[in-house]
Amino acid sequence: MTPDERPPSARREELLERAYRYALEHGLSELSLRPLAAAVGSSPRVLLFLFGSKDGLIRALLARARADETAALDRARNAGEAGDVGAALRTTWEWLAAPAHRPMLVLWLQAYARSLSEPDGPWAGFARQTVADWLDLLAARTGGDRAATDAVLGLAVLRGALLDLLATGDVARTTAAVEAYLRRVDGPS
């Protein structure tokens, strides 16, 4: 009998939220139960009981991180008029560049990288899914093939600038690059 994870409960969600905040500070790669349990005021015994296994915990944390990402996705969806890819990109970049979101984005990149080198385990499919989510959003604003390519390119600009920003912390330089792109795609008018 594989120990199943418990259905959502008050205690489970409280501990998940605290564990998520702990993961934002310490990263997911080196997470281990005993220090985590001590930090969130619990015990390894309880974490295993509520989440079934460490993999179950990681899956739950990844899902929690995806909830933050979905929030950003919705914000982009409601930005500007329908069909206005530029507005969606601009809004999303503002969100990405906000210093408060940096720990979450580092966590996101970690999960992305890990899911590439470990097709099995709780990380599986994270990268593929996150790409698909964003492309769906951006492509839904468009019609033809050329516009689909624009969505792929726009997403690449955001993600590449984000990589740069996370490494250097240089908001001004990376924002200038994103805006240079938007100026070209919107037309110089």
- How far apart are alpha carbons 126 and 12 in whole angstroms? 23
- How far apart are alpha carbons 64 and 67 in whole angstroms? 5
Out of 14, 17, 74, 118, point to the residue binding a copy of itself (CB under 8 A).
Answer: 118
Only one residue has tokens 């008029």, namely 81
Out of 29, 43, 70, 78, point to the residue binding DNA (CB under 7 A).
Answer: 43
Question: What H or E segment, with its residue span, contains residue 68?
Answer: helix 54-77
Q: Which is nearer to DNA, 48 or 153 (CB)?
A: 48
Q: Is 118 in the site for DNA (CB under 7 A)?
A: no
The span of 28-36, 64-72, 100-108, 133-141 binding DNA (CB under 7 A) equals 28-36
Question: What H or E segment, with its residue span, contains residue 77?
Answer: helix 54-77
In the 8-state DSSP scheme, what is residue 5?
Answer: P
Only one residue has tokens 């349990």, namely 37
The contact mask relative to a copy of itself for 120-139 (x = CB under 8 A, - = no) is -------xx-xx--------
The span of 44-52, 122-130, 155-163, 175-183 binding DNA (CB under 7 A) equals 44-52
